[in-house]
Amino acid sequence: MGGDGVAMVEVRDIHTYYGESYILQGVSLELEPGKVVALLGRNGVGKSTLVRSLVGFTPPRRGSVTLDGRELTKLPTHAVVKLGIGLVPQERRIFPSLTVEENLTLNARRSRVDGRRRWGLGELYELFPVLKERAANRGNLLSGGEQQMLALARALMGNPSYLLLDEPSEGLAPLIVRELGQIIDVLKAEGVGILLIEQHLHFALKHADTVFLMSKGALVYHASPRELGENREIQKKYLGV
């Protein structure tokens, strides 16, 4: 719990392994309502492992993840999601044989948070008009951008307090990336806290409130988007740009 009484996700010194491979080596950060935290780094440094650790796919062996002071590390994934953490995975994982609307309604859940917009089909079709147009289409008939929007809308149907977005702009056309950024800004204004895992530096800097860089399973740099945007040396060292 933050000092001002705001419920937040607190990650404290987590260490995560795949078998005997030591992947996350003491990661700590906080997610607050209505804030976007961007996590950047080269491929294979542990960014997706952090997402897996937060939602219970690959629980950390040491350290803690709490939401509003409640420990999440021992909970199964469905329980973590029920408490208010939504995931948009890198692989999207939509159901190809189900229609857009069936994909969405599978994850419907009442909001736990008073005073914030409840996401239902009507609200999501307003935010994602392309999904309304494609409502009766099966998932395998959607373009890559439409699949990404469906994956994001499906997560919102669970009415999460926090969203984990794993490489959401990967492989998308610039116009779709711009739309995705506008949606992230809407969610931020609605009070949703977002962890944004990204390769796209400009996209992350534009929409984040704070930025972390990861290298070899550890957080090695923390700054405002403006500071990172001006630090070419750090960009080159950790991002190769």
pTM value > 0.85: yes
Which pLDDT score, from 0 to 100, does residue 5 have?
53
User: Where are the domains positioned within the chain?
Assistant: 9-239
* Structural tokens at position 7: 């419920």
Strand partners, 16: 24
Which pLDDT score, from 0 to 100, does residue 241 have?
77
Nearest Cα neighbor of 27 from 71, 69, 64 is 64
Nearest Cα neighbor of 63 from 29, 39, 20 is 29
Which pLDDT score, from 0 to 100, does residue 92 have?
82
Phi and psi angles of residue 22, each rounded to the nearest 5 degrees, phi first: -90, 105
Which pLDDT score, from 0 to 100, does residue 109 have?
64
Which pLDDT score, from 0 to 100, does residue 110 have?
59
- Ordered mean pLDDT values, 10 residues apiece, the chain (241 residues): 66 96 97 97 94 95 95 94 92 90 81 66 93 94 93 92 94 92 94 95 96 97 97 94 77
Instruction: Calculate Rg over the CA atoms of the chain.
Output: 17
Q: Which CATH number fits domain 9-239: 3.90.1010.10, 2.60.120.10, 3.40.50.300, 3.40.190.10?
A: 3.40.50.300
Query: C-alpha angle with apex 144: 141 to 149, nearest 5 degrees?
Result: 95
Which pLDDT score, from 0 to 100, does residue 6 have?
63
Q: For 204-207, which contacts have Cβ atoms below 8 Å and span 24 or more sequence positions? A: 204/38, 204/40, 205/38, 205/229, 206/181, 207/36, 207/38, 207/181
Q: Could you tell me how far CA 186 lies from the centroid of its own chain?
A: 15
Query: C-alpha angle with apex 152: 10 to 129, nearest 5 degrees?
Result: 145
pLDDT, tens digit (0-9, with 9 covering 90-100), for 172-184: 999 999 999 999 9
